């Protein structure tokens, strides 16, 4: 099984809402990632978790809060977002963070902030 699943597929939320994105993999990978992708742009790294510990935060605003409750799950908690945060949020995983390991991407959550 080489699948990364993400839920929900689509999410519409107001600027005062609190919501969460969920990512799951059962490949035994110990590195997990969150990316943000705007339309017609490349994915941009947000966070990296290695062995359930946050190892990279790309200066992401605090209204985005990642969580890795166990080695198979990665959450992204959203609070007080802005319309410019509307984007495709991609989760990925790899065996470890080392460069030689392939990253597997999920299909993404399409987020619209109104």
Partner 1 sequence: GESVGLHLPTLSVQEGDNSIINCAYSNSASDYFIWYKQESGKGPQFIIDIRSNMDKRQGQRVTVLLNKTVKHLSLQIAATQPGDSAVYFCAEKWGAGGTSYGKLTFGQGTILTVHP
Contacts with partner 1, residue ranges (CB under 8 A) = 4, 31, 33, 40-45, 48, 50, 55-56, 58, 90, 92, 97-100, 102-108
**Smallest gap from residue 28 Cβ to partner 1 (A):** 17
C-alpha 31/C-alpha 72 separation (Å) is 10
**Smallest gap from residue 45 Cβ to partner 1 (A):** 6
Q: Evaluate whether 114 touches 86 at the Cβ level (below 8 Å).
A: no
> Residue 46: which of 94, 104, 99, 85 has the closest Cα?
85
* CB nearer to partner 1: pick between 58 and 114: 58
* CB nearer to partner 1: pick between 49 and 64: 49
Give me 5's structure tokens. 């699943």
**Smallest gap from residue 59 Cβ to partner 1 (A):** 12
- The strand pairing partners of 88, in sequence order, are 37, 110
* CB nearer to partner 1: pick between 65 and 103: 103
DSSP 84: G
């Amino acid at each position: 099984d080489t699948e990364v699943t993400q839920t929900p597929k689509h999410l519409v939320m107001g600027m005062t809402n609190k919501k969460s994105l969920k990512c799951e993999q059962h490949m035994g990978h110990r590195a997990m990632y969150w990316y943000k992708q705007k339309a017609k742009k490349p994915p941009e790294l947000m966070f990296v978790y290695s062995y359930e510990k946050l190892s990279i935060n790309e200066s992401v605003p605090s209204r985005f809060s990642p969580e890795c409750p166990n080695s198979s799950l990665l959450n992204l908690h959203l609070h007080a977002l802005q319309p410019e945060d509307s984007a495709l949020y991609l989760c990925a995983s790899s065996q470890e963070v080392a460069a030689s390991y392939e990253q597997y991407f999920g299909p993404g959550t399409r987020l619209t902030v109104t």
